[in-house]
Amino acid sequence: MSKPLPKLSGLIKSGAVVPATPMYGLPDIPGPVARDETTPLIETQDKVAPPETSNGGRKLTTVNVNLIDPNPLAPREVYTPEMIRDRAEDLRVQGQHDPIHVIPNPSAAGRFIICDGWTRVQACREHKVFDTLLAEIHTDLSMQESAWFGYEQNEGRSQHCDLDRAMFYEKLIAAGETAAEIARRAKLSKTMMSFYRAYGKLPEDVLEIIRLHPGKFGATEAYQLAKLYDKAGIRKTVSLANKYASEDQTQRWLTNQVQALLNPNAQKAKTAGKTIRYANGVYKQRGDSFELVITVSAEQREAFAQGLEELLEIAAIAPATAEDADEKHVEL
């Protein structure tokens, strides 16, 4: 039996996983981020991202990283400490190549909401790389358009997994967009959109497993688990998700497991019957029953009988009485 996987809530509390968005409802826009007043802001040359000298008509400026708030419609779900640490190292070694993208925070003058570049902001805050980052300020984007901007940037860099996409679509639906409009803009078929929406039908216990293994649980896997949860309940769904996460199994295996759990009788009927005919006999299997009628030549009879009796030792049960034993026979 595989070891139970840890809950995401515990990982977040311990710092092993960092949530992408704050723990409040979508209508709320994040306010100012608290700063440790005991640590003064050090604005030395080596702690500030270099300014851009030519902006080509774009509104570029350096922004203090502590003035940038998360986007409540963020297109990515979870950022791991390893991911943030690696980005911090890249910034130290290579510097900032491209600006981050922000919009003004409509509820907090002088603050901004991230569109794209949240990993770099977190890297600078947690690992003290830069106090400021070069940012392009978009004054013409709404909250939803700013989230779509970040989504498209991440798609171009192949930084999304199916879980990220699905949760982003659900946030947009909660904010008022229709599933049809999202599918059109994301260039998804109606069928594929239904697969992505399956994540939103899964219970939190299953989502915690998926968040720990986002690369393994694509939209097709989520769809299969949602079907199982709807018909068989949470216990079987969590058990199967844990097994799939901990073992090297294929998507086809998961699909077959779901079908077997949802239609046990059909699965049994499909595999129960077997008949193999030979020139000198026939072998039949019906469920738990096995039948063999075969003619064996005199020179092979002893070896065949010995081999058959060895096989019988695997599953045969000794008779309860001597009378039962007298009734045993093998037809050769």
Domain-located, residue 14: yes
Give the number of domains in the chain: 2
Domain-located, residue 303: yes
At which of 160, 187, 204 does a domain end?
160
Give how far Cα 133 sits from Cα of 53, 54, 146, 172, Å: 14, 16, 18, 28
Residues 141, 17, single domain; the answer is: yes
Q: Which residue has the tokens 């990220």?
A: 164
Q: Which domain holds residue 130?
A: 8-160
Answer yes or no: is pLDDT of 53 > 60.
Answer: no
Residues 156, 276, single domain; the answer is: no
Domain-located, residue 222: no
Q: Which pLDDT score, from 0 to 100, does residue 47 have?
A: 55
Domain-located, residue 204: no
Q: Which pLDDT score, from 0 to 100, does residue 286 have?
A: 82
Answer yes or no: is pLDDT of 86 > 90.
Answer: yes
CATH number at residue 121: 3.90.1530.10
How far apart are alpha carbons 28 and 22 in whole angstroms? 10
Residues 140, 282, single domain; the answer is: no
The overall pTM is greater than 0.75: no
pLDDT single digits (tens) 230-254: 999 999 999 999 999 999 999 999 9
At which of 139, 160, 181 does a domain end?
160
Answer yes or no: is pLDDT of 329 > 80.
Answer: no
Residues 154, 19, single domain; the answer is: yes
Domain-located, residue 264: no
* % of the chain surpassing 70 pLDDT: 76
Strand partners, 116: 101
At which of 138, 160, 182 does a domain end?
160
The least confident of 91-95, 135-139, 161-165, 328-332 is 328-332
Please state the rounded mean pLDDT for residues 75-80: 81
Asked whether 134 and 140 are in contact (CB, 8 A), the reply is no
Please state the rounded mean pLDDT for residues 3-9: 49
Residues 139, 275, single domain; the answer is: no
Q: Which pLDDT score, from 0 to 100, does residue 40 have?
A: 39
